[in-house]
C-alpha cells in the first residue's frame, strides 16, 4: 500500500497485510517484550526486543507513513513523547527554535521548562506574519521552525508551503504538528515540511480510549536518526495502544467528514447568537487566513472556539451547562467535548506570551446527531 492507492484504502490496508499464518485480516496484538532467536545474532526479521521493534507497532508505523505521504513513520506513547523525541533528534544545547506564539500549551511547556534550561532558546512568533518569522531566525543557530496549524485553541493558520520555502532558503528544518487537521485534511510533508507529528490520542485514535503519538518523515537519513532516538529514548507506543490507533484510523476519512459537517452547523448557530463575540474557525470567510486554509486543507475541521459576552464566568457557565457536549480536556473523539482553555488545557501558559483569553470556550465537535448538538449548545448559551 502506498501512493498508488487512495487515502481511504491506505487507512484500512497500509501496513496490514492479512496474517500469513491464519489469514486474519486484522494484525494481531503482539503483546510481547522479547523474541526467540534462531541462533546468536539470528533474530527473525530483526525482531530482537520490543522497544526496538514490535510487529503491531510496525503495522501502525507503515500506515502512518502512507497517510502522511512520508518515507517512514514512528509511533510513540503520547503526542508529547513524539514532539520531545523529534526536538531532541533535531536540536542540541546552543541551538534555537522558532515556534508559534499560540502553540499547544504542553508544547510550550516542553520548550520553556525543559528545553530552555537545557540550553535551547526559542522565539515565539505569529506564524501568519512571514516577515516576523524571517526576523526571528538566527543565522547559524536556528535549526528548526515549528509549525502548528490549525493552532490549539485559537485555530490560527500558518502557510506550510510558504514557511517551508523560507526555512529551506535559511537552511533550517520544518516540523508540523498536524493534530488538529489530521492527515485526511492536510498533508504537511507534501507541502514541503520535513517532519510531521500527531497526538494520535485525538483524531487518529478517534474514540477517546488511547493516548499515543506519531511522527513521520520523508527523508530516509532523518528517518534513521529519528529511529535511533525513538529506540534510545524509549517512549514507544505499546502494542495494544498501537492496535487501537490503527483501528481508529480505518474510519478516519468518514469521521472527519462528519466532524466537519457538524462543526459547520455549530458555527452557523454561534454566528446567529447574540452572546457570542468572536468565533475562531478557519472555514469562516472572516478568518484572517481563510484563503491559506482553503489552499492547504481539504475542509476546515471539527474544532471551533469562541469568545462570549460576560467574560470568564459566562464562559465557564456555558461549559458547566451542556449535556451532550461533555465537559473535558482532549479533542478529536467521536463524542463532542467542551472546555474552558484558560482554566483547563492552557492553564500551563497563564502569564506567558501564549496566555489565552479567559472568555474563550473551545469545542471539539463530535459526530453525534447534529440536531442534538445544536439544541444542547443553544440551551447552554441561554
* Catalytic center residues: 51, 104, 177, 202
Would you say the C-alpha torsion 309, 311, 315, 318 has a positive or negative sign? negative
Length of the chain, please?
382
Look up residue 190 and give its DSSP letter: G
- Give 30 or 146: the residue with its C-beta nearer to ligand PLP: 146
Please tell me whether residue 104 binds ligand PLP under the rule CB under 6 A.
yes
Quote the Cα angle for 201-204-209, to 5°.
Answer: 45
Q: What is the smallest separation between the CB atom of 48 and ligand PLP, expressed in angstroms?
A: 28
Scanning the chain, the segments in alpha helix (DSSP H) are: 7-13, 55-67, 79-90, 105-109, 130-136, 160-169, 182-185, 220-233, 239-249, 252-271, 290-296, 311-321, 370-381
Q: What is the smallest separation between the CB atom of 177 and ligand PLP, expressed in angstroms?
A: 5
Q: What is the smallest separation between the CB atom of 101 and ligand PLP, expressed in angstroms?
A: 14
Please tell me whether residue 108 binds ligand PLP under the rule CB under 6 A.
no
Give the residue among 24, 41, 57 at the shortest CA–CA distance from 240: 57
- Give 136 or 344: the residue with its C-beta nearer to ligand PLP: 344
Only one residue has cell 502522511, namely 68
Please tell me whether residue 69 binds ligand PLP under the rule CB under 6 A.
no
Please tell me whether residue 316 binds ligand PLP under the rule CB under 6 A.
no
What grid cell was written down for 132?
Answer: 516576523
Would you say the C-alpha torsion 74, 78, 81, 82 has a positive or negative sign? positive
195-254 binders of ligand PLP (CB under 6 A) = 199, 201, 211, 213
Please tell me whether residue 79 binds ligand PLP under the rule CB under 6 A.
yes
Span from 63-71, 74-82, 263-271, 309-317 in contact with ligand PLP (CB under 6 A): 74-82
Residue numbers of the site for ligand PLP (CB under 6 A)?
Answer: 78-80, 104, 106, 148, 152, 177, 179-180, 199, 201, 211, 213
Amino acid at each position: 500500500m502506498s501512493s498508488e492507492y487512495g487515502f481511504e484504502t491506505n487507512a484500512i490496508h497500509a501496513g496490514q497485510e492479512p496474517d500469513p499464518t491464519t489469514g486474519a485480516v486484522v494484525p494481531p496484538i503482539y503483546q510481547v517484550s522479547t523474541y526467540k532467536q534462531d541462533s546468536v545474532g539470528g533474530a527473525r526479521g530483526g525482531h530482537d526486543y520490543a522497544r526496538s521493534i514490535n510487529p503491531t507497532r510496525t503495522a501502525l508505523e507503515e500506515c502512518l507513513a502512507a497517510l502522511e505521504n512520508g518515507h517512514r513513520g514512528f509511533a510513540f506513547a503520547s503526542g508529547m513523547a513524539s514532539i520531545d523525541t523529534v526536538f531532541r533528534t533535531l536540536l542540541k544545547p546552543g541551538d534555537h527554535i522558532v515556534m508559534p506564539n499560540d502553540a499547544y500549551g504542553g508544547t510550550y511547556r516542553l520548550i520553556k521548562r525543559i528545553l530552555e534550561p537545557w540550553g535551547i532558546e526559542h522565539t515565539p512568533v505569529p506564524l501568519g506574519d512571514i516577515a516576523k518569522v524571517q526576523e526571528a531566525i538566527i543565522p547559524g543557530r536556528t535549526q528548526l521552525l515549528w509549525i502548528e496549524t490549525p493552532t490549539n485553541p485559537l485555530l490560527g493558520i500558518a502557510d506550510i508551503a510558504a514557511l517551508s520555502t523560507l526555512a529551506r532558503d535559511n537552511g533550517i528544518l520544518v516540523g508540523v504538528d498536524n493534530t488538529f487537521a489530521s492527515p485526511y485534511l492536510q498533508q504537511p510533508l507534501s507541502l514541503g515540511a520535513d517532519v510531521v507529528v500527531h497526538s494520535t490520542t485525538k483524531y487518529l485514535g478517534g474514540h477517546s480510549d488511547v493516548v499515543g503519538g506519531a511522527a513521520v518523515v520523508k527523508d530516509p537519513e532523518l528517518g534513521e536518526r529519528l529511529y535511533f532516538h525513538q529506540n534510545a529514548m524509549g517512549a514507544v507506543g505499546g502494542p495494544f495502544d498501537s492496535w487501537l490507533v490503527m483501528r481508529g484510523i480505518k474510519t478516519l476519512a468518514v469521521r472527519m467528514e462528519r466532524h466537519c459537517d457538524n462543526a459547520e452547523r455549530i458555527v452557523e448557530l454561534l454566528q446567529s447568537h447574540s452572546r457570542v463575540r468572536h468565533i475562531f474557525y478557519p472555514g469562516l470567510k472572516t478568518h484572517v487566513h481563510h484563503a491559506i486554509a482553503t489552499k492547504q486543507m481539504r475542509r476546515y475541521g471539527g474544532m471551533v472556539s469562541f469568545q462570549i459576552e460576560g467574560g470568564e464566568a459566562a464562559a465557564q457557565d456555558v461549559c458547566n451547562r451542556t449535556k451532550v457536549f461533555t465537559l473535558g480536556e482532549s479533542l478529536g473523539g467521536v463524542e463532542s467535548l467542551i472546555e474552558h482553555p484558560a482554566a483547563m488545557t492552557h492553564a500551563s501558559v497563564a502569564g506567558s506570551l501564549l496566555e489565552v483569553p479567559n472568555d474563550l470556550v473551545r469545542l471539539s465537535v463530535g459526530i453525534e446527531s447534529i440536531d442534538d448538538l445544536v439544541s444542547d449548545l443553544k440551551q447552554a448559551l441561554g
